[in-house]
Structure 1
Amino acid sequence: MMPVPDPHPDVFDIEWPLRVADVDREGRLKFDAATRHIQDIGSDQLRELGFQETHPLWIVRRTMIDMIRPIEFQDILRLRRWCSGTSNRWCEMRVRIDGRKGGLIESEAFWININRETQGPARISDDFLEGLRRTTDVNRLRWKEYLSAGSREDADDIREFPTRVSDIDIFDHMNNAVYWSVIEDYLHHHPDLARYPLRVTIEHDAAVALGDKMEILSHTYPPGSTDKFGPELTDRTVTTLTYAVGDEAKAVAAIFNL
């Protein structure tokens, strides 16, 4: 991922404490909690820049999180956020989370600006784009899928994951952070994967709504079994989780050690 351009006046820099609801039984900052922090610093930066009223709604298409070293309970988080790529309607935003005790999480997310009335992609204003581009030379950012859904026929396991009222956000679909609670659930049942540094990527294809019967299809690809993830990953195990409602794949996650 793009290194933090530090010091830089357009890197948003903030601190807050790690709280009880953010950590697992061993005191580690969870992936779903880290994702909420990544969302929250985005809201704080919008407010700081004065664009909260004109650009209030964003949806995430992909989030990549590298848990380099776990961040532990009672630590203080330093979060830095900056833009690593832009287009007229979307951008990629980097967030680095440092713990004072040496924990580190790196992330990059592909965010789409949404029109409040049409609920579709909307143009980012020129003055907003001007600020975003101060930390990147990438100004023709295009969407490219990294992941493909797994099938039911050859899944290692299929597990139901019910949606709850509390999972639904202002867009009337399951919030981004809830998808990451699936990751935590999977890692709990597969502790051999919880070795760091660990990269997890989730790509969203369609929304999950309240009442949908969502199932998680898991697939494991041992070293040397496939080149579908690119030549640089043929030497390691890659696990994918497909978030499916019926025959439709709503999202896909990939998990592997760096």
Structure 2
Amino acid sequence: MMPVPDPHPDVFDVQWPLRVADVDREGRLKFDAATRHIQDIGTDQLREMGFEETHPLWIVRRTMIDMIEPVVFKDMLRLRRWCSGTSNRWCEMRVRVEGRRSGLLESEAFWININRETQGPARISDDFIEGLRRTTGETRLRWKAYLTPGSRDDAASVHRFPVRVSDIDIFDHMNNAVYWSVVEDYLASRPELMKAPLRVAIEHDLPVALGDDLEIIRHEYPAGSTDKFGEELTDRAVTTLTYVVGDETKAVAAIFPL
């Protein structure tokens, strides 16, 4: 991922404490909690830049988080956010999450600006883009999917994930952070994965709504069979989680050691 351009006046820099609801039984900052913080700092930066009223609605298409070293309970979080790529209607935003004592997470998310009336992609204003481009030279950002959904036919497991009222956000869809709680469920059964740096990426295709019969299809690809994920991953195992409602893919997650 793009390194933090520090010091830089256009890197948004905040701190807040790591709280009980953010951590697992071992005191580690959870992926779903980290995702909430990544969303929250985005809202705070939007307000700080003065575009909260003109660009209030955004949806995330992909979030990638590298857990380099876990941040643990009672630490103070430092979050820095900046733009790593832009186009007319979307941007990629980097967030670096650090503990004051120890711990590091790196993240990058692909955000789409949404029109309030049409609920479709909307052009970002010129003055907003000008501010975003102060930290990046990438001005022709394009969307490219990295992940392919898995099939039920050769799945390691298929299980239901109940969608609750509390999971639904302002768009009337399941909030982005809830997808990461599925990742946490999986990691609870694979504690050895947390002993080394870990990358998790989730790509969203379609929203999940209240009342949907959501299922998670899991595939395990051992080292040596993972060339379809890229040559650099052929030497390590990859797990994918495909979020489906009926035959419709809603999202795909990939989990692998760095």
TM-score normalised by L of structure 2 = 0.99
Matches within 5 A, 1:63-212: 63-212=63-212
Query: Counterpart of 1:28?
Result: 28
- Deviation, structure 1 residue 191: 2.0
The residue type paired with residue 246 of structure 1 is: G
Residue equivalent to 2:231? 231
Q: How far apart are residue 204 of structure 1 and its match?
A: 0.2
Matched, 1:257 2:257: yes
**2 CA distance for matches of 1:114 and 1:121?**
5
2-structure distance, mates of 1:39, 1:225:
34
| 1:195–1:257 contact (8 Å) kept in structure 2 | no
Q: Hey, what's the Cα distance between the residues in 2 that align with 1:201 and 1:232? A: 16
Other-structure match for 1:222: 222
Q: CA deviation at 1:196?
A: 2.3
Q: Which amino acid aligns with 1:248?
A: E
**Equivalent pair of 2:156/2:218 in contact (CA under 8 Å):** yes
State the Cα distance separating 1:54 from its structure 2 match.
Answer: 0.2
Give how far 1:189 is off: 1.8
Q: Moved runs in structure 1, 4+ residues, more than 4 A?
A: none
Deviations 1:113-165 (A, max 9, x none): 00000000000000000000000000000000000000000000011101000
Q: Deviations over 1:29-87 (max 9, x none)?
A: 00000000000000000000100000000000000000000000000000000000000
1:38 aligns with 2:46: no
How many pairs are equivalent? 258
SS where residue 194 of structure 1 aligns?
helix
Q: SS state of the match for residue 228, structure 1?
A: helix
Q: Distance in 2 between matches of 1:155 and 1:194?
A: 23
Structure 1: tracts of 5 or more residues without a match: none
2:62 is equivalent to residue 62 of structure 1: yes
Cα distance in structure 2, aligned partners of 1:161 and 1:115: 30
2:184 and 2:223 mapped to 1: Cα distance? 23
Scaled by the length of structure 1, what TM-score is found?
0.99
Q: Residue 167 of structure 1: CA displacement? A: 0.2
Counterparts of 1:123 and 1:144, CA distance in 2: 19
The 1-side partners of 2:179 and 2:101 are apart by: 28
CA shift for structure 1 position 226: 3.2
What percentage of aligned pairs have identical amino acids?
Answer: 80
In the TM superposition, what is the alpha-carbon distance from 1:192 to its structure 2 partner? 2.8
* 1:171-193 per-position Cα deviation (integer Å, ceiling 9, x unaligned): 00000000000000010122232
